Amino acid sequence: MLENRKERAEASPLPAMPASIGGSSAIEAAAAQLAAQHVKPRLLHGSNGITAGGVALRVSVQTALQCPPAAERLMRRVTTLLHESIPVTLSLTELGAEDAATPALEDFCAMLGGAVRAEGLAPDRIGLSMQSHLVPLQAYLLICTALLGQGARYVVLDSLQMRHHDNELVRTEADSNWSMLWHRRVGPPAVTPAYAASVTTRCPLLGDEAATCLLPETGLQAPAQSAWLPLELDLLHFSDGHGRLQWPSLQRALEVAIVAGDTILDHLYWPLPEQRSDAWQNRRLAVSLGGVGDLVVERGANPADLRCLRWVDAIVARVHALLWNCSRMQARKTEPLPALLAACPAVRWDCDIKRSDWDLRWRRAVANSAVRHRNLLVMSPYAVLPSQSRPFADFVDLLPVLHHADAFSFSQPRTDGFRSLREFAHFHRRAWAVMQRRNAASLVAAGV
C-alpha cells in the first residue's frame, strides 16, 4: 500500500496554473464550511486565480547590484507578481561590508523602485525584512521609505538584541536598536520586530527548516518561497462567556480546518514554480490561534498566576494535539505527505541488503507516523495579550505557551499596552527565549 502511494506521490504533477473555475468553486465551498465553524481562511484573489499568503523572496543585494542578468530576473519576478495583485516581501541579505552596506541598500532600493514605477506599479506594495545588524535601523527606515514608500518593514532580531552583553559597543548598539523599534512601533511606516529562527513539525520523520523570510499577509516567518494557507481561529468564539471553552465545538472546528483546508490547498493558484513544488510536497496549513489573553480576561484569571499559565498551556497543547491527530486521520483517508514519502533514507544506500532493510523500517515508521501536513499550528507572541486596552506586564508570563507552535507570525503587533521601552523589550526577549528553547528541544530526533 505504501509502495503504491509512494509511486503516486513521485509521479503526481504539480498543480495546474492558473486555477480553474471548478477549483474556485471548490475553494468557495470549503471556505463557507470554515466560516460556519468560525475559522477564517486568508485568501487572496489575484488576476490568475485564488491564492494565499503572498510571496516571500530571499534576495542577495550584492548579487542584484553586481550581476545585471540576476537583477533583471529579480525585477521581472517582482513586477510580474505585483501585476497579478500578489503581495511580496523581500528578505534582504548580503549587503556587503559595514561601510558599503548602507550605500548598497540605497542603490538596491533605487533600482527596485525604478523598475516597479516603470511598470506603472506602486512600490509601497513591497514589504522588506532585514537582519538588525546589517545597516543602522534608522538608515534602513529612511532609505526604504524615501525610495519605496510605506510598505511593511520588518527587522529580524537575534542574540545581539536578545541577550545581555558585557561588551559596551555591542550593548550600546542593542540599546539603540530597541530605542528605534520602540519609537517606530507605530507608523507610518511601522517597523516590526521578528525573531523566529525556524519552523518545526510534530512528525518525527521530518526535520525543522530555517525561517529566513516573512510572508506578506500574516508576517509568518517561514522558508523562502514556501506556500502556506493561513487559517485564523479565535478561542473566544468557543467560550461560554465566562472563559470556559466548549470543547466539542472547538474540536469540530479544528477537524473542519484540516479537512476543508486540505481541499483548498488542492485548488489554490501558486504564482511561483517553487511555491507549487512546496505546496505539493509539504501541504502547509497555518492555523493561527488567537484570543489566549482575551480568554484569560473573560475568565477573570490572574495571568501572573502559575495556575493560569498551566490552564492556558493545557488548552494550547490540546489544540495542537487535536490538529495533528486530524492530520494523521486525513493521511489515512487520502495519502501521507509527499515530502514524507520522498524522505526515505534507503535511496542513499549502495548495498541492496541495507537499502532493503532501511526501506522496510522506513515504511513501518511512515505507517506509524504518517501525517498529511508538514506544519499546522501558528502563534503570534501577541496572542497572549488582551485585545482590551490595558497594561500588558502580567500577560508576559503567558508567553511559555508559544513553545507548542510549529511556526510564528509577527504582523499586526500590539503596542498600546506597553508602558515603557523596558516593558516592550522585555516582552520580546521573553518570547524569543521561549522560541529558542523550543528550537533546542526539537533537535532531539525520534528513532526510526
pLDDT of the residue at 352: 59
CB atoms inside a 10 Å sphere around CB 210: 12
Longest dimension (CA), the chain: 66
Nearest to 28 by CA among 246, 274, 268: 268
Q: What is residue 170's predicted lDDT score, i.e. its pLDDT?
A: 87
Sequence ranges of the domains in the chain: 228-442
Rounded to an integer, what distance in angstroms lies between the CA atom of residue 202 and that of residue 375?
8
Give the pLDDT of residue 9.
35
State residue 4's pLDDT score: 37
Give the pLDDT score at 302. 96
**Amino acid in the structure at residue 113:** G
All three cell numbers of 122, joined, read 506602486
Quote the pLDDT of residue 343.
61
Alpha helices in 12-85 (DSSP H): 21-36, 61-66, 68-83
Write down the pLDDT at residue 129: 97
Please say whether the beta carbons of 91 and 129 come within 8 A.
Answer: yes
Q: Provide the 8-state DSSP code for 155.
A: E
Indicate left, alpha or beta for 106 from its phi (over 0: left) and psi (-120 to 50: alpha).
alpha
**What pLDDT is attached to residue 14?**
38
Q: Is the dihedral of CA 236, 331, 221, 228 positive or negative?
A: negative
For residues 118-139, b (16+ Cβ closer than 10 Å) or e, as one string? eeebebbbbbbbbbbbbbbbee
pLDDT by residue for the chain (448 residues), tens only, comes to 333 333 333 333 334 345 555 688 999 999 999 999 999 999 999 999 999 999 999 999 999 999 999 999 999 999 999 999 999 999 999 999 988 999 999 999 999 999 999 999 999 999 999 999 999 999 999 999 999 999 999 999 999 899 988 888 888 999 999 999 999 998 788 899 999 999 999 998 888 999 999 999 899 999 999 999 999 999 999 999 999 999 999 999 999 999 999 999 999 999 999 999 999 999 999 999 999 999 999 999 999 999 999 999 999 999 999 999 999 999 999 999 999 876 655 555 565 555 566 666 666 666 677 899 999 999 999 999 999 878 899 999 999 999 999 999 999 898 888 999 999 999 999 999 999 987 666 533 333 3
Distance between CA atoms of residues 314 and 312, nearest Å:
5
pLDDT in the model for residue 319: 98
Quick one: residue 154, left, alpha or beta (phi over 0 = left, psi -120 to 50 = alpha)?
A: beta
**37: which residues sit within 8 A by CB, 6+ positions away?**
252, 253, 256, 257
CATH code for the structural domain at 228-442: 3.20.70.20
